[in-house]
Structures are given as structure tokens and as C-alpha cells.
Amino acid sequence: MRGISKALKIKLEVLLGNDAKLSDGAFERELYSMDIGVIPFSRLLFKTLPDLIIRPKNIEALKKIIKVADEEQIALFPRGLGSSGLGGVIPTVGGIVLDFSSLNEIDELDRENRMITVQAGARWSDIEKFLRTEELAMRAYPSSFFSTVGGWIATGGYGIGSFKFGHLQSQIEAIEVLFPSGEVKSIKQDDEAFSRFFGTEGQFGIILTATLRLRTKPIKSMPHLIYFECVEAVVTFIKDMINAGIEPYHIKYVDSAYLEKTNKLLEEKLFRERDAIVVTFEDAAEDQKFLSFAAKQGIHADEYLARYLWHERLFSMKRKGHGSTPLACEIILPLENFAPYLNRISQMAARFKVRLNVESHIIGKDDALVLVHYDSDVRELRTYLAHLTLIPLLTRLGTTFRGTPYGLGIWNAPFIHDKFDRQMLRCYKAYKHEVDPHNILNPGKFFAARTKWANIPGMLLNPAVFRLITRMVPVFSPIIAQPILKEKSTKDETALEKTVYSCVKCGNCAANCPAYLVTQDELLNPKNKLYLAKKLLEEEEIAKIDAEKVFLCLHCGMCRDVCQNDLDLLTAWSELEKRLEDRFGKPEKAIRNFVSAMEESEDYWRFIYAQKV
């Protein structure tokens, strides 16, 4: 892979004109070198800093880019919201990040056949908003509600509604894919190649559009919360329910630690701190069937508690933060191994002195998508690194229970053999070679992580070596790990400090920020402002030009409304501005121009009024 010369940048600029926005500011590139995961050593292993960021405004621009990239052998890293933590969107060898934020149009709504065609950069929340006035609704959607359609296709594909509607693949009619050759192909569900684009993290082509199947809008959701004595009882209940032919829209499991944290967050002991499931129906008849079925089983909680948890489905990261860095492991497990796995990991976690939280979406009659998460704190680096090693351990353990890792990206690349069998992998590799002979799409990950330094550190990520390491980890890591002393770190924190270290970078705020929407400036994205704040707090160097962007904010507070962690963002912005003002002064003129630019923007007003329901 080659780097990008100045001449090439200019060439791209001329070639793309107004069809794309190019940026190569140092800070902006830094922002694109991360996803929501916090991996302290990633920069040592990979060239995570892209050379250039391109935000194409139309598909024509994208075609031009891919043509140049293929000719010049420049690596491309398409990026949606970046709400996964496995490094799927992180550059490994510099190159170009393709930001899909502007390719978010809704192309066509086919009411008759109940289908909608959207560009890959459209967010699930955008589609929901678009359908608000229609009689139609989405089938399944990811719990990262503000993530993009392209992102979910390329990664997991399981989420809310997966119990009823199955994997994303089954609710997509067709996708349009752009190949490194410059060819655009529409691939229908019955095509052989169709499934290759799901969960393969952008290895074969760039997804341009997707045609989603919709359904009639349900009248209402009817969630029920049921408590159980133990995980085994949960599994039995679910299996019995399935056998009784009851079809809920969604089933979600939460463990006692999850409910304990929820209680703490609400500052009231509302939930019993037990294993529980939320079963949601959207069909009244099914609901009735369920009620008579469940009458003899388990303990039912009040409806409002069930509703609360159901509402929280889109805020899965909520109680992970609060002054700490969340770590998580996602794995798909056969339902029969669900209980033994949970029992094993809790024993393991105790050795690491962490408390695990488990959530799980039951994604079909046989499988569960298990999300295990726990709190650490990156500011206590030694412990954090030790905690970090627990993730592959949890994943490894999962595979011994016939589980498969939910995604691969960079950090799960060693588990590729656990995700795909030999034959399939061979097929994928052949296909990759066929469609992307120069390996310009997302190189250095997924199939095999390939690091800097002649890939010598990358040896560690080789599946066989990695397996060996994961055997050693349980011995060493617990020795290094210390329990996180929360009291110490949270006591004297200012609102900004608390916010910065509690942010899980989910990106909900970005989808709801008018300043970001109008300016399309990545530096105005609230989560990125917090990243700048983090640098400020850690006394890293900040450029004045980047600092001034922080002031371009209307303090509307809409970021706060969608923040998973209920962070006090408005206070944080004021504090951040104050600090920056002390250091760089206040960019009065820029602020004035910004305010009038906002008021003159039609997009702005459309967005503002869309909030009014």
C-alpha cells in the first residue's frame, strides 16, 4: 500500500470538485483513526491515522475515488457511524477514510410492496423519522439506533426485532455494491453472492444502497418483564414459550447486575435484582396467548418497569459509563449453552476483579446474541490493559461453547476460524482475490491483522499464537488487575472531566446535532469535541484552529436529549469553552458567522421542525 502524495490529493480535489468534501487536518485525521473502542496500543501496531478523509456527496464521486484508489493502490476504509469497537472502520495502513455521512438519502419508498431504498449512510433513526408519517415501520433495527444501514449490513445484523424477523439479511431485498473495478452491481436476495456482503466488514465491495423490507406499523408495543430464580430457568422458559408456538417481536435477557445498576442509576430500588427477560409483543393476539402461557411461570413485574427496560433497548451503553471506560464482548451462542457460559464467565470475572453485566437479545429459536460488558478506567492504564485481556478470554470461552464472535474487525481477527469454517473461508478468500485483487478495501484486518514493523507484532494476532496467549492470560492478568476505585476518581471531577471519561462515543449526539448537520464538520460533532476536551485535560497539544470549532455550538441541548449516559453535556460545553477561551480567546467573528449560517440554512430549519412531533 502506498501513501498519498500531495499531487494525488490535488488530483482528487480537482477530480471530485463539489461532489465530495476532502479534509486532511491533523485533528480530524486523528478523529477518524478511532472507533468506540479504546485500545491504547493500536497506534503502535497500525498506521491508524488516515492520510485523507473524503466525504462523498454522491455515488458518482465514490466511483471516481475507487477508480483512482485501485489504480494507485491506495487503501480505502469506508466508515459509517463507527459505533462498533472492534476496529472495523479503523485504518491500518493510512490511506483514505470514506465517510458516508453525506450519502444518507432515502431514495425511494415503495408503499405498495412495502419497501424502502436508502443510501448506505442513512441512519436507522433517519428511516424511522421518515416513516413516522407513514403506515409502515422497519422490521428489525440495531440497538445502535443512530448507526448506518451500511454499517449494520457490514457487521453484525442482529438487533431489536431479530427474534421475529431473523438476521438483517432476510429483510433486505437487494443491495447495490461498488467494486474496486468501478463496477456497480445490484445484488438481489436470491443471488449467490448476496450473503457474502453481510458481516464481512467491507472486504468485497462498498455498499451503496439497500432496499429494506418494511412491515405494517404496529399499533403499540406490549413489553412484559419477568423475573427468574436463575439463568437456567430463563432458558427453559424461553424454550417452552417457543415450543408453545408463541411468537414475540423481541426477547431480551438482562442479568441481576444489569438491574442492580439500573436501580442505582434511578436511585430507587425499582427492579428486583435477579435474572429477567423482557418479552415484547406487537400483536395483540400473540400477547394474549403469551399472558395465559406465562401466568403460571415466573414473576411478573409492573408494566411500567417493563416499558422502561423496553425503552432502554436503544441505550444499551447507558449504564456502562460514569467515569469509567466500558469494555465489552459480543458473542452469538446456542441457547442451550447460554446458562453454562454465563456461569463460567462470572467465575472468570471474579478473578479479574470486575463485575460483569450481561444483556442478551434472543435472535431466534436457537441462538442468543450475548453482550457482556464491564467497567474499567483507561486512566489507570495497567489495570485497564489487564482488563482488556479479559475480552479475548470471554470470546475464547464462548467459542468453546460453540459460540461465534459477533464481529471480527481488527481485534477479533484471530477468531476468524471460529466464525467461518474452512470451506467458507476459502470461498471468501477466493472471492476477495477476484473482486479486490489489489486489496484496497479494508486491508490488514478481518482475514488477518497485518501490523506495522513488518508484521512482527502482528504475529501475536495470528490465530494460533493468539490462542496460546489467551491460555496464559488467566494466569497473569488477574495479578496485574486492580479493582477500579471509583470513589477516588469521581469525587473532585468537574462536569467536563466526568463527561469526557463517561462518554462511550456511541455517536447518538452526532445524529441529533444541528451544528454538525449543517456544517458537516467533523470537529463540530459533539463526541469529537469531547475527544478534543480529553486531549485538553490530558494536556496534549491542541491547535487553535481546532479549538475554535468548539465554540460553533448553539447550546441547544439536543445532544443531551439523546445521550445514552445522560451526560450533562451543556455544562460540559460551557466548561470546555471557558477553558479554551482562557487559552485561545473567544472567536467572536466565527461565532457570529456560524449563527447566521445556521439561520440561513434550510436543512437547519427542516431539522429543527422535525423535532416537533
Partner 1 sequence: MPKKYSIERVLAPSRFPPVGKFVIERNEKECIHCGRCTLVCLYGVHKRREDDPRFMSEPVNHLCKGCFRCIQECPQEALTIKNNDNYLLLGDSYWSPEIFSKIWYQAETGSIPVSGAGYTGPFSGEGFDSMWTDMSEIVRPTRDGIHGREYISTSVDFGRKVPILTFDTKGKIISPLPQICSIPMPIIFDVIPFGYSKNIYEALAKAASFLGTFMLIDPAEWFNSKYRASLVPLLTDLSKNWNQKFGLLEFEGLIKKCKMVEVAYDREVLKVIEEIKKISTETIISVRVSFGDTTTKIVEELAFAGAEVIHLCADINGKVIDSFDEQRFVKDAILDTHKLLVDHKIRDEVTLMLSGGIAMAEHVAKAIICGADVTAIDLPLLIALECRYCKRCHDGLSCPVELKALNPDYGAQRIINLMGAWRDQLLEVLGAMGLRDVRRLRGEVGRAILYEDVQHETFDTIFGEGGTHNIKSSY
Binding site for partner 1 (CB under 8 A): 514, 551, 553-558, 591-592, 594-595, 598-599, 604-605, 608-609, 611-612
Q: Which cell goes with 331?
A: 458473542
Q: Which is nearer to partner 1, 504 or 598 (CB)?
A: 598
Quote the least distance from Cβ 555 to partner 1, whole Å: 6
Quote the least distance from Cβ 520 to partner 1, whole Å: 19
**608/514 Cα distance (integer angstroms):** 8
**Is there a contact between 132 and 334 (Cβ–Cβ < 8 Å)?**
no
Quote the least distance from Cβ 265 to partner 1, whole Å: 21
Quick one: which of 281, 119, 284, 135 has its CA closest to 214?
135
The DSSP-derived string for 546-593 is HHHHTT------HHHHH-TT---HHHHHHHHHHHHHHHH---HHHHHH
Quote the least distance from Cβ 586 to partner 1, whole Å: 8
**Is there a contact between 516 and 528 (Cβ–Cβ < 8 Å)?**
no
Quote the least distance from Cβ 529 to partner 1, whole Å: 14
Q: Which is nearer to partner 1, 184 or 495 (CB)?
A: 495
**233/298 Cα distance (integer angstroms):** 9
**531/32 Cα distance (integer angstroms):** 11
- CB neighbour burial string for 141-157, b if at least 16 within 10 angstroms, e if fewer: bbbbbbbbbbbbbbbbb
Quote the least distance from Cβ 589 to partner 1, whole Å: 11
Q: Which amino acid is at 589?
A: K
Quote the least distance from Cβ 599 to partner 1, whole Å: 5
Q: Which is nearer to partner 1, 485 or 595 (CB)?
A: 595
What count of Cα atoms within 13 Å lies in the side-chain half-sphere of residue 202?
29
Residues in the chain: 613
Quick one: which of 508, 576, 587 has its CA closest to 552?
587
Supply the angle between the helices 569-584 and 495-502 in degrees, to the nearest 10. Answer: 110
Q: Which is nearer to partner 1, 161 or 514 (CB)?
A: 514
Quote the least distance from Cβ 300 to partner 1, whole Å: 36
> Cell 491460555 identifies what position?
471
- What residues contact 366, with CB distance under 8 A and at least 6 apart? 334, 335
Q: Which is nearer to partner 1, 4 or 553 (CB)?
A: 553
Q: Which is nearer to partner 1, 343 or 611 (CB)?
A: 611
Q: Which is nearer to partner 1, 276 or 559 (CB)?
A: 559
Q: Which is nearer to partner 1, 69 or 511 (CB)?
A: 511
